Structure formats: structure tokens, C-alpha cells
Amino acid sequence: MKKLIASAFIMFSSHTAHALELLVPAYFYPVDDGVAYWQTLAEAAPDVAITAILNPDSGPGAAFDGDYAAVANAFQAAGGRLIGYVYTGYGARSEALVKAEIDLYYAQYGVDGIFLDEVSNLAQHLGYYQSLHAYIKGGFERNHIVANPGTQTPESWLATADVLVTFESPAAEYAGYQPDAWTAVHDASRFAHLIYDVADADAMRAVIDTARAHNIGHVYVTDDRGDNPWDTLPSYWAAETAHAAAVPEPSAWAGLLAGLALIASRLTRRSRRGGH
């Protein structure tokens, strides 16, 4: 029993004990198939944690779009988290313009946070992203931030976002991916991977398992490819949500440990009584 409890504590303390979340670049316009994709996201939201990235026109667009607002509101009502896409030009885009687009997302679409894309991982740009972090966290009640360098990133970048995307590339490149050693000491919920051109459901499950082994708490895998591999949902979407949902919630592990501790306590008391 002691060995069993020790093993359970090891699993509970490991990063893979955390529930896996899906980070979906929902770059499909909400008409025809696009509406169906958004509806599918909303239908899955009660069963698996999903953050969807809203991207009307490489940002919020010049004008409010009622079609996007309708699907976005339905997705949030179903329990999904919605964040707005803003690109930063690898630290070269005007900070004032980026902040203006952030404001538009909150005013027009009522987002739950912001997805910062084209994020530089160079030290001279750290202050730029820290400033954006302070602006979002200080100005909005719902302020989840995902930053996307899409590659290896210095540890100091954890100060710029709640979640760092440290891989965004096709499956062929993921096979050789090795995370930076510093990521292993942080919670898996701080990291995300986006992997495309993954052929089938079996390959998808293998990729997700690899991501979990790399201490990744947010993932998205698709068989889409090309210039925009985020303009559809994968053909194996149902299998992906099922596999992601199979990762236990931390509360489930806590309940298991509490039960094992109670059993151990009772066995210990019995053992002591038997010794008198």
C-alpha cells in the first residue's frame, strides 16, 4: 500500500496529471462549412476544455462582423474560452496599433483574452511583450494571454503570457522536437503546441501523447495543411476531443490520493491493534 500511495503522489506531482486543453486556431469564416465548424466547437466545449482563437481578418478587422459575433457568443455560452488574434510583427509592429486592436476585440466581441502572434523570442523585444502583458492584465477583467513564438523561447518569456506556444509546425518536424530543459520545472498549463499535417487519428493520438511527455498542457493537432492549415477542423475531431478529455483533471487525482491515504490510515491502525 505504501508503494501504491508513493506512486500516486509521483503521478499527481507530474505535469501530465493536469487536464489537457485544446487550443484551436479557428480561422474559418462562419458561413457554410465554417458555421458547421464553429457549431462543432460549441458542441464539444462542455466535454473538453477548448480555447478558440477568433481571427476575422488577421485581427479584429476594420468593422464589426455580426456573423463572427453570433458563433463566438454561442461558443462562449457553451463553455468555451474565446481569445482574439493580434499579430505583433515579431516586435516590430506599433505597440499603439496592437493595443488598439486589443481594445476592438473586447469592445466588439467580448473576448476572454488575446492571442499574440508573430512573437519575437529575441531579448531586445522582451520589454515590448511585457508592456502588452501589463496592458491586457491591467485593463480587462477577462485577460487570458497566449503568446506564439512558435519555437524555442527563453524562460523570461513566461512573464509575457499565461501560455507560450513553443512549437507550431508540421508533424514531420515534431518527431525531432526537443523542449528546452527549463520548461520541465514549470506547470504544463504554461505551454502549448500546434501541429498540422498529421495524417490520421492514430498519428494524432501519438502526437498528443508526445506533447504530454514534453510537459505540454495545451495542444491542437490537425490533418489540414498548406498555407493556412487552420481553416478547417480535422477529420478526426471527435477522436481528438475524446483523447484530450481522457487526461484526468487534477481534482480527480486529488480524490484518488485522499482515498488512498484513508485506506493507508485504516490499515496502519489495524496493524497497530494487531500488534498489542
Tens-digit pLDDT profile for residues 48-66 = 999 999 999 999 999 999 9
Give pTM, 2 decimals.
Answer: 0.85
On the question of pLDDT at 252 being above 50, the answer is no
Q: Are 259 and 3 in contact (CB under 8 A)?
A: no
C-alpha cell at 220: 491542437
Q: Are 31 and 64 in contact (CB under 8 A)?
A: no
Amino acid at 276: H
Helix (H, G, I), strand (E, B) or coil at 54: strand
Amino acid 265: pLDDT: 53
Instruction: Please count the other Cβ atoms lying within 10 Å of the Cβ belonging to residue 266.
Output: 10
Amino acid 19: pLDDT: 79
Alpha carbon 201 to chain centroid, angstroms? 20
CATH superfamily of 20-247: Glycosidases (3.20.20.80)
Share of the chain above pLDDT 90, in %: 82
Interval 97-133: pLDDT, tens: 999 999 999 999 999 999 999 999 999 999 999 999 9
On the question of pLDDT at 91 being above 60, the answer is yes
Q: Is 138 exposed, middle or buried (0-12, 13-18, 19+ CB in 10 A)?
A: exposed
Helix (H, G, I), strand (E, B) or coil at 234: coil
Share of the chain above pLDDT 70, in %: 83
Amino acid 18: pLDDT: 57
Report the mean per-residue pLDDT for the chain: 88
**Domain chopping of the chain, boundaries:** 1-19+249-276, 20-247
State whether the Cα torsion 106-108-110-116 is positive or negative. Answer: negative
Interval 196-227: pLDDT, tens: 999 999 999 999 999 999 999 999 999 999 99
Q: Are 230 and 222 in contact (CB under 8 A)?
A: yes
Q: Which of 245, 242, 239 is nearest to 222 (CA)?
A: 239
Helix (H, G, I), strand (E, B) or coil at 254: helix
